[in-house]
Structure 1
């Protein structure tokens, strides 16, 4: 957790530890980068306004060092819609404005961890394998039958989600909530578009992995030998 206000930093650290998290704290961006190098994080709670390096720049450097899928929750006193858009566009997984209730922050952290797959029993960052399809979250690499598959950031997140729920039918509404944002209010038809993009890139051969469950959603099925 990166927060320059000492009172808030200690309060948040104590509350997160009480909620069951292991917490390391840093007072500024450079200290955060050094801490992350010693103890790679599963999630970062990051103040946008820091005394040395801006939070957005810290996020970029953390992602370069620890993987593009590292979950980050921004904290900020700036609460205009444009500020929130800037934070999410910079790559933040959530954006919490001060003042906030501790219960809200903890709930948002749990939601981000669920969406990232890091609250599951699988080791954080471990490769996902379904048949001859492999996804490496840390390297941001996807291969099918040994051949590299180039995906956009959103396509990568969607494929990772489907692989984490392999052999489970997932409703479109749930995919929208978990992949795009838990409070996203858009049209679930966006899922159809991105599944179509994925199929063109991942399912080009005879053995199809991504299947439509009519009236419900989608399932990525492990192929039978």
Structure 2
């Protein structure tokens, strides 16, 4: 029996530069990447592509990253991992992100600040 591993990643980011950088790195690592720029489209892509990982900005148009994260956690028992990638850098922001369902919380500047 062959078991297929889903290596699709959903990147939800409204900044084109950050979306492109994340996508380039993930594709070089062999992942299939789906990009969307707002939380409303992300809901459709969640069911269409069933990603194994979501990289999620918080400050998004239409549906916020916070609302999308909560929505994902209520959808089904499937354990999709969520990494929040946000410009919000305060400790309180990180705690809030983890409490709402993120598995990891990373500040954009800590990752892209040296570019």
Instruction: Report TM bin, short chain.
Output: 0.7 to 0.9
Pick from 64, 86, 107: which aligns with 1:97?
Answer: 107
Larger relative contact order (Cα-Cα within 8 Å, sequence gap ≥ 6): 2
Measure the CA separation in 1 of the matches of 2:101 and 2:78.
9
* Deviation of the 1:31 alpha carbon: 0.9
Check whether the contact 1:2–1:27 (CA below 8 A) recurs between aligned residues. Answer: yes
Could you say what secondary structure the match of 1:25 adopts?
Answer: strand
Could you say what secondary structure the match of 1:24 adopts?
Answer: strand
Partner of 1:213: none
Task: Describe the shift of the 1:100–1:22 C-alpha distance in structure 2 as closer, same or farther (beyond 3 A).
Answer: farther
The question of 1:25 aligning with 2:41 is answered: no
Pick from 97, 102, 107: which aligns with 1:87?
Answer: 97
Q: Which aligned pairs between 1:171-182 and structure 2 lie closer than 5 A?
A: none
Partner of 2:55: 45
Measure the CA separation in 1 of the matches of 2:32 and 2:59.
24
The question of 1:56 aligning with 2:39 is answered: no
Measure the CA separation in 2 of the matches of 1:37 and 1:45.
16
Pick from 11, 17, 22: which aligns with 1:7?
Answer: 17
Q: Which aligned pairs between 1:115-194 and structure 2 lie closer than 5 A?
A: none
Structure 2 unaligned segments of length 5 or more: list them.
Answer: 1-10
Greater than 2 Å deviation, 4+ residue runs? 63-69
**Would you tell me which structure has more strand in proportion to its own residues?**
2
Check whether the contact 1:40–1:66 (CA below 8 A) recurs between aligned residues. Answer: no
TM-score by length of 1: 0.43
User: How many residues in Structure 1 have an aligned counterpart in Structure 2?
Assistant: 102
1:70-110 Cα deviation digits (max 9, x unpaired): 210001111111111111111110000011337xxxxxxxx
Which protein shows a greater Rg? 1
Could you say what secondary structure the match of 1:91 adopts?
Answer: coil
